[in-house]
Chain A
């Protein structure tokens, strides 16, 4: 039962349609960001890049950017460390509470983020911690560290346990086994977990909303502006955050491709 040319062509067309559906709103944002008019209305008559200039030079945007970067950067590093060890416990070792542990770390991923953010806000309040960008890191980690653990686990699952045993058999200590075998072999997984962690933290809104206190991240500021009326800076700054993510993802893909390309020829 071959899938005929016609049918597979139809399916490809459908896939393209779905991709278009997913990206259409971003096209609107992109077009809006280069419209010269202060009040947006399609069709756009005059294009200009003035809003980008304004966004890039704005102090507000700079402060938002710094906070977003600080949060995403620290979430990335912490997720990579937690995810590395968490994945070894998740996938690699047999221990008593493994199944329970596997289930526990899935729960935060399913949990409604708005409620999680509010619960954390109450919790910080109860602990007398003043919310700031630092508490937002904790909030992001509740959601992102389990995701990072799952991503590293996929790699850890495909990893032959005999490799660690062989290293030990040849006299490697606990630390030598980790350094010589486990870390290098899990590194691709840890790197992609780090990329995911950064991007998810960078784009997160519901968790940041309640846990950043007086500080504000880019998605928070964007939301505040969206609900309080249109500002031409909203599509511009929005587009800038989207482009940052896109550049990161494409850069990572290019790097992965280049590494694979270069290897077999050495």
Chain B
């Protein structure tokens, strides 16, 4: 059986592994190769000179990188605060409502991000759902809170909420009720229970949720384009522009490599710490 399992494991993993090598790792290697090419070439036949990376540094592209990371960071913090009470409710308080919430939140994931963000434009624009009715009832209008930096963070918070909520709920579910009750019994206040029991014991969920939202938000683009009116240009947006309008594949590749390096470091660090067997409840 052991030999059988070894062979079957290798055999059954083969389709996905081969596919990911060909359609995921190979394209990334190609991007890496292009990023070394002189700018504005469309083949790999030139001598690598890494000039695109110099452009990234000199042309102020680092600002987009910094903004993307900063907005992702802020969105992650906001999401932690917003999602904690709800995740706590889902894990410990609600009964059937947890199922309703789960289905309700998961369903939004199946709606194209574009449509949902477009919906926010219709909601927030001048003459939109909110301002339109406000003006209708009060006679006083106001400017649309669109096309600025904060609204991009708002969009990130909106789009990535499920990616924080579910890992957090999972993490809080792992906090044993006994531990909370005995802490309460020993005289801890609610705040002390949160600090001494809930936060440390739910840490795996907090880490997974935070890293997931941070990584996804750092590579986002649609929020800035649709809601922010490109008030702040994100790194993913720069990558796309370099490839399409700029027709500068090496520059696009170099920018992509910067993004991949940042996200990759965070993701690989997180993934290497996670024991998936344990997290997903493998039987011995």
Q: Give residues in A with beta carbon < 8 Å to B.
A: 1, 3, 7-8, 11-12, 14-15, 18-19, 21-29, 31-32, 40-43, 81-82, 85-86, 88-91, 93-98, 101-108, 110-116, 118-123, 126, 138-139, 141-142, 145-146, 149, 153-154, 157-158, 160-161, 165, 168, 199-200, 202-206, 218-219, 222-223, 226-227, 234-235, 238, 241-242, 245-246, 249, 253
Cα–Cα, bound, A36→B111 (Å)? 24
Count of interface residues, chain B, beta-carbon cutoff 8 Å = 102
Q: Is B207 an interface residue (CB 8 A)?
A: no
Q: Write the B88-129 contact mask toward A (1 if CB under 8 angstroms, else 0).
A: 111011100100010111111111111111111011000111
Q: Which of B2-10, B49-57, B58-66, B145-153 contacts the other chain?
A: B2-10
Asked whether, in the complex, the Cβ of B114 is within 8 Å of the Cβ of A11, the reply is: no
Asked whether, in the complex, the Cβ of B120 is within 8 Å of the Cβ of A1, the reply is: no
- CB-defined contacts of B220 to chain A, threshold 8 Å: 112
Asked whether, in the complex, the Cβ of B110 is within 8 Å of the Cβ of A115, the reply is: no
8 A/B residue pairs, CB under 8 Å, sorted by A: A27-B119, A93-B6, A106-B276, A111-B263, A112-B220, A149-B16, A160-B283, A203-B112
Asked whether, in the complex, the Cβ of B236 is within 8 Å of the Cβ of A11, the reply is: no
Of the listed residues A3, A41, A107, A146, the one surrounded by the most CB atoms of chain B closer than 10 A to its CB is A107
In the complex, the number of residue pairs spanning A and B with C-beta atoms less than 8 Å apart equals 300
A10 to chain B, nearest CB (A): 9
Asked whether, in the complex, the Cβ of A82 is within 8 Å of the Cβ of B271, the reply is: no
Cα–Cα, bound, A40→B123 (Å)? 11
Of the listed residues A28, A113, A158, A249, the one surrounded by the most CB atoms of chain B closer than 10 A to its CB is A28
Asked whether, in the complex, the Cβ of B114 is within 8 Å of the Cβ of A28, the reply is: no
Q: Write the B229-253 contact mask toward A (1 if CB under 8 angstroms, else 0).
A: 0000000100110010000010011
Q: Given A14-B86, A115-B236, A157-B283, decide whether A107 and B226 contact each other with a Cβ distance below 8 A.
A: no
Asked whether, in the complex, the Cβ of B27 is within 8 Å of the Cβ of A21, the reply is: no
A202 to chain B, nearest CB (A): 7
Q: Give residues in B with beta carbon < 8 Å to A.
A: 1-2, 5-13, 15-17, 19-20, 23-24, 26-28, 30-31, 34, 44, 82, 85-86, 88-90, 92-94, 97, 101, 103-120, 122-123, 127-129, 131-133, 136, 158, 161, 180-181, 184-185, 193, 212, 215-216, 218-222, 225-226, 236, 239-240, 243, 249, 252-253, 256, 259-260, 263-264, 267-268, 271-272, 276-277, 280-283
DSSP majority for the B interface? helix
B61 to chain A, nearest CB (A): 14
Asked whether, in the complex, the Cβ of B86 is within 8 Å of the Cβ of A245, the reply is: no
Of the listed residues B27, B215, B264, the one surrounded by the most CB atoms of chain A closer than 10 A to its CB is B27
A83 to chain B, nearest CB (A): 8
Asked whether, in the complex, the Cβ of B111 is within 8 Å of the Cβ of A89, the reply is: no
Asked whether, in the complex, the Cβ of B92 is within 8 Å of the Cβ of A27, the reply is: no
Asked whether, in the complex, the Cβ of A119 is within 8 Å of the Cβ of B15, the reply is: no
- CB-defined contacts of B181 to chain A, threshold 8 Å: 1
- CB-defined contacts of B2 to chain A, threshold 8 Å: 94
